[in-house]
């Protein structure tokens, strides 16, 4: 690397704002890649990381331990003041609060990147931080907090962020973590939202994602829910593209999911690049007694359907079931495909 390129691409001070499962994994990978990383965390996570350090594992065999002195931790948002790059990884419901903290503490020249589920977080950050370089982003992979400072990536994919000045994606790409930039990211975010609709189904099933995709009964429900959501987006004239490959139209996904298992396994080999034990982050939330992001997933489809005078019975009933599971606080209800079908039929008969 030339001295000129070093000047153009200095190692920035990175703060991961609201580091939970995804934030700790991404921040840990960046620290592993020799970046200066501060994890802004809750006191409970701070205590765990101070004792255990960070252990990063994944389905491809990654197993890396980072001692506590290999990264920085903070519970005070004042740490945002030193940041050149702020990676926002809080839950969607906390975005507005985090935006205000960034506004209060961060330098105006800091780059703010949303690495969150949903499609509205970038807009919230941009409206609160009009003088900052704010970029929406998309994280395709799933991360589960295994306890003891261990964060496990269970699925594949590269991070995509909005294109902007400088070489941010190049700078943030390290061994084992690749970041791409795109001029327009909204369609990619909607595509990710459609794929993430399965988070709730997986949480209701309570089984590993790979087992779920190998079940014809579950695949048909995933396909029906996806078809319903695609119809809603088309009525709203919203474009969605696959987050991992623009070559596969999103409309083909329900057909692929409905294929017989032997044919599906052959056609969708890349979809099965999943850790045998990986489950959705929404399952993780239910098991931990946390509120989920159902409003930013199925909730978005249901609201759009209402605006367009359409019905979305599957997405509506799935939303209700997740909220019931949140209220119960006992983890996944461990439904079978036939159970969910019956509950959707009962909802339709009442509507």
Residue 112's CATH number: 3.40.50.720
Question: How many residues appear in the chain?
Answer: 351
Domain boundary residue among 183, 198, 215?
183
Query: For the stretch 107-130, what's the b/e string if a residue is b when 16 or more beta carbons lie within 10 angstroms of its beta carbon?
Result: eeebbbbbbbbbbebbebbbebbe
Q: For the domain that residue 337 is a member of, what is the CATH number? A: 1.10.1040.10
Residues 265 and 238 in one domain: yes
Residues 91 and 41 in one domain: yes
Residues 285 and 170 in one domain: no
Residues of the domain holding 262: 187-350
Is-contact 80 72, C-beta < 8 A?
A: no
Domain boundary residue among 122, 155, 183?
183
The distance in angstroms from the start CA to the end CA of the chain is 64
Residues 148 and 203 in one domain: no
- How many distinct structural domains can be found in the chain? 2
pLDDT, position 247: 61
* Mean pLDDT per 10-residue section of the chain, whose length is 351 residues: 38 94 97 96 96 94 95 97 97 96 96 95 96 95 92 92 94 96 92 95 95 95 97 96 72 93 82 79 93 96 97 96 97 96 86 66
Gap between the Cα atoms of 138 and 215, Å rounded: 28
Give the single-character DSSP code of 310: -
Domain boundary residue among 183, 210, 241?
183
pLDDT, position 272: 60
Residues 109 and 79 in one domain: yes
Residues 143 and 282 in one domain: no
Residues 135 and 179 in one domain: yes
Q: Could you give the 3-state DSSP secondary structure of residue 76?
A: coil
pTM across the whole model = 0.90
Residues 195 and 56 in one domain: no
DSSP H helices, the chain, are 3-8, 21-32, 43-52, 95-105, 121-128, 168-172, 186-205, 209-213, 216-235, 253-257, 261-267, 281-287, 298-307, 313-328, 337-350
């Amino acid at each position: 690397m030339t001295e000129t390129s070093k000047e153009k691409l200095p190692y920035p001070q990175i703060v991961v704002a609201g580091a939970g499962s995804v934030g700790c994994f991404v921040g840990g990978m960046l620290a592993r890649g020799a970046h200066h990383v501060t994890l802004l965390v809750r006191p409970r996570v701070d205590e765990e990381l101070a004792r255990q350090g960070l252990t990063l594992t994944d389905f491809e065999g990654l197993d890396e331990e980072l001692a506590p002195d290999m990264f920085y931790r903070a519970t005070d948002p004042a740490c945002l003041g030193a940041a050149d790059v702020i990676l926002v990884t809080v839950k969607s419901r906390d975005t507005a609060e985090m935006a205000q903290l960034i506004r209060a503490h961060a330098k105006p020249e800091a780059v703010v990147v949303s690495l969150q589920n949903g499609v509205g977080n970038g807009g919230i950050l941009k409206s609160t931080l009009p003088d900052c370089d704010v970029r929406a982003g998309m994280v395709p992979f799933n991360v589960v907090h295994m306890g003891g400072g261990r964060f496990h990536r269970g699925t594949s994919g590269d991070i995509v962020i909005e294109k902007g000045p400088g070489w941010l994606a190049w700078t943030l790409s390290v061994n084992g973590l690749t970041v791409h930039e795109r001029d327009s990211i909204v369609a990619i975010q909607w595509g990710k939202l459609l794929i993430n609709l399965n988070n709730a189904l997986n949480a209701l099933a309570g089984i590993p994602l790979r087992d779920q995709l190998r079940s014809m009964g579950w695949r048909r429900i995933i396909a029906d829910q996806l078809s319903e959501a695609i119809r809603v987006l088309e009525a709203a004239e919203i474009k969605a593209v696959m987050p991992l490959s623009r070559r596969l139209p999103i409309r083909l996904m329900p057909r692929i999911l409905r294929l017989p298992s032997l044919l599906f396994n052959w056609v969708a080999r890349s979809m099965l690049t999943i850790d045998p034990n990986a489950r959705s982050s929404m399952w993780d939330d239910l098991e931990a007694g946390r509120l989920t992001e159902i409003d930013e997933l199925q909730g978005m489809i249901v609201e759009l359907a209402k605006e367009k005078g359409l019905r979305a019975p599957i997405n509506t009933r799935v939303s209700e079931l997740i909220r019931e599971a949140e209220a119960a606080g006992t983890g996944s209800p461990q439904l079978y495909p036939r159970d969910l079908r019956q509950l959707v039929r009962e909802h339709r008969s009442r509507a």
